[in-house]
Amino acid sequence: MNATPPPPSADPWPPKAYKNDAFLNSPEARKIRVLCEMTEPEIRFARENIQDTIVFFGSARSVDLKAAEEHFQSVKAQIGNKTDLSPEEAVALRKARALLKLAPYYQAAVELSEAMTRWTMSLEDKTRRFIVCTGGGPGMMEAANRGAHNAGSPTIGLGISLPFEQELNQYVTPDLQFEFHYFFIRKYWLAYWAKALVVFPGGFGTMDELFELLTLEQTRKITKQMPIVLYGREFWEDILNFEAFVDWGVISPQDLSLFRICDSVEEARDYLIEEFTRLYLTPPKVDA
C-alpha cells in the first residue's frame, strides 16, 4: 500500500534568506551579523547627530557609597565578633572592603561626567556636543551615564550581551541604548566618535579597552588627538608600573605622554576642557 503523501504546505516557497532566522543565526552568516552591528548603530548615531563623545570606562562591580556601606555593615553583622573566620566569610569581608574602597571613585565618575556635560551644554558651538558614552553596564559606567543624565543631557550606552552581567543601566537615554554581541564591533563604536577617554579603576575589560586604544594612539592608527585620563593615582600606581615599561625598553619615554593621571574631579575637568578647547574649539590660525 502506498504511503499517504504529506499535505501541501500553506506556503509553497521556502523563506527568503534574509528572513530565515536559522540561517541568520548560523556560523555561516556571522559576517552578515557583524555588518548589522556596524550598520544599524551608524544609522541611529546619524539620526541623533552624534559626532563627538567622551568615553568613560571602569569597573562594572563598583557601587555608590551608600550601597557599599550598607553591604559592609551587613557582612559585619553576619560575622559578628568572630575572629576565626571561615574561608567564605573571609572572602565576603574582603569583597565588602573592596566595594568600600571603590565607592569614592563611583561618586567621582558621577561628578566628572556631570561637570563635563554641563560645560559642553554651555558651549555656543552646538555642533560640538561631547556626549558621555559608556559600555552601558553597572558600576562606573552607570555612574558616568548618571552624571550626564543629572545634567539633563542625552547619554549613550554601548552594551554587550554577557551571561553574567546586568542589563543596560537605567540612566542611558532610550534612543541611545545599544546591545552588541561582538566585542570588537562594540570597541569600534566606542573609539570611533571618541574625542576623549576617561578610565576609572577597573578589571580585565577596562585594561583591555585602555591598552587597545593606547596602542592605536601609539601606532597612529587613530589620527585624531584624543586626551586620555586615568583617574585615581593610588589605583593606577598600585596596579601598573608604567615607568617599568620604559625601563624594560618595551615602550618609548614619550609614550607616557599618551595619557595623564588625574587625582581629582577638578583636575580632570580642567585638563579635558583645556584639551577640548585647544583641539576642537579654537579657530585655526591663518597666515597673513
Does 286 fall in a domain? no
**pLDDT average, residue stretch 215-240:** 95
Does 255 fall in a domain? yes
CATH number at residue 195: 3.40.50.450
CA 288 to chain centre: 44
Number of domains in the chain: 1
State which residues form the domain around 128.
49-63+103-280
More confident residue, 129 or 277: 277
Per-residue pLDDT tens for 245-268? 999 999 999 999 999 999 999 999
Confidence band of 288 (pLDDT split at 50, 70, 90):
low
Does 75 fall in a domain? no
Does 249 fall in a domain? yes
Sequential DSSP letters for 104-129: HHHHHHHHHHHHHHHHHHT-S-TT--
Does 74 fall in a domain? no
Does 201 fall in a domain? yes
**pLDDT average, residue stretch 135-156:** 97
What is the radius of gyration, based on Cα positions, of the chain?
24
Q: What cell does 216 get?
A: 592605536
**Dihedral sign, Cα of residue 202, residue 205, residue 209, residue 210:** positive
Does 35 fall in a domain? no
**pLDDT average, residue stretch 134-141:** 96
Confidence band of 80 (pLDDT split at 50, 70, 90):
confident
In whole angstroms, what is the distance from residue 246 CA to residue 218 CA? 14
Q: What is the pLDDT of residue 284?
A: 62
**pLDDT average, residue stretch 9-34:** 87
If you average pLDDT over every residue of the chain, what do you get?
A: 92
Confidence band of 5 (pLDDT split at 50, 70, 90):
low
